[in-house]
Amino acid sequence: MNGLGFEKDENGVIGRNEIIGKIDQLINNREFKTRTLDLKGKVMNSIREDGSSCKNFKRFVKWM
């Protein structure tokens, strides 16, 4: 899980209190911070010179 879902009200609108609650949950929940740092590490590995994203981008540029 890499995010939180929002609950819409009866009019299909995401209310202010819903957004405030989710932000508070993200800021104060250690589990989210741990997962975020893990995801950051994966992204950083992917974009380094020999990472998968870098290789895919270079293949795309070569193809163009």
Report d(CA 20, CA 28) in Å as an integer: 12
H helices within the chain, ranges in order? 16-28, 30-47, 52-63
Report d(CA 3, CA 43) in Å as an integer: 16
Q: What is the structure's pLDDT at 35?
A: 87
Question: Mean pLDDT per 10-residue run, the chain (64 residues)?
Answer: 82 94 89 88 90 91 94
Kindly list the domain boundaries of the chain, sorted by start residue: 16-63
Instruction: Tell me the pTM.
Output: 0.55
